[in-house]
Amino acid sequence: MSAAGTTGNAATLQRFHSAVNSGSPELVFQAVDELVAPDVLFHAPVPMGLTGAEALKRVWGVLLRAFPDIHVTVEETISEGDRIVVRNTVTGTHRGEYQGVPPTGRTVSYGEIFIFRFAGGRIAEVRGVVDVLSLLRQLGALPS
């Protein structure tokens, strides 16, 4: 892949993160439609019965309802070929139900690592590891 392709992929990912950090479900869903392949392969805990871009939209819908001020800070990126790896810190205030836990008003912070594969200028595959255990502990759903 050329340097221009790698730069374009980084710009696509930056646009996606900007939409996520807007707090607007409409902007996130629009970004998914524009920047993500409809048949994206999504390897992360997702709602049963959904695949592709619709699964990604559902995940972000749930997160934005539970944490309306959610913010993803990209701490580190590594780019190679058609892939970008990002290490993020996610913060937010628990204002809506999440995984059966009613709103607590608590501020949470947890880490995640994602690998994005690009094809045709769009996100074609996503692999993620999210520290959900830490998140649930901060919400009081699990012992510390």
How large a percentage of the chain has pLDDT more than 90? 83
Is 143 within a domain? no
Residue in the structure block whose two tokens are 């880490």 = 111
Regarding predicted confidence, which is higher, 76 or 55?
76
Any bridge partners for residue 101, and if so which? 98
Is residue 97 domain-resident?
yes
pLDDT tier, 94 (very low <50, low <70, confident <90, very high otherwise): very high
pLDDT computed for residue 3 by the predictor: 53
CATH number of domain containing 83: 3.10.450.50
Question: Does residue 144 sit within a domain?
Answer: no
Task: Please determine, for residue 103, whether its predicted confidence score (pLDDT) is greater than 70.
Answer: yes
Q: Give residue 119's domain range.
A: 3-138
Identify the pLDDT of residue 43: 87
Number of domains, the chain:
1
Is residue 84 one of the residues assigned to a domain? yes
- Angle at which helix 25-35 crosses helix 3-20, to 10 degrees, equals 160
Helices (H), the chain: 3-20, 25-35, 52-66, 132-138
Q: Strand pairing partners for 90?
A: 72, 110
> Is residue 42 within 8 Å of 126, Cβ to Cβ?
yes
Mean pLDDT rounded to a whole number for the chain: 92
Per residue in 111-143, is it b (16+ CB within 10 Å) or e — as a string? ebebebbbeeeebbbbebebeeeebbebbeeee
Distance CA 127, CA 13 (A): 14
Mean pLDDT of the 95-105 span: 95
32 in Cβ contact with 53 (< 8 Å): yes
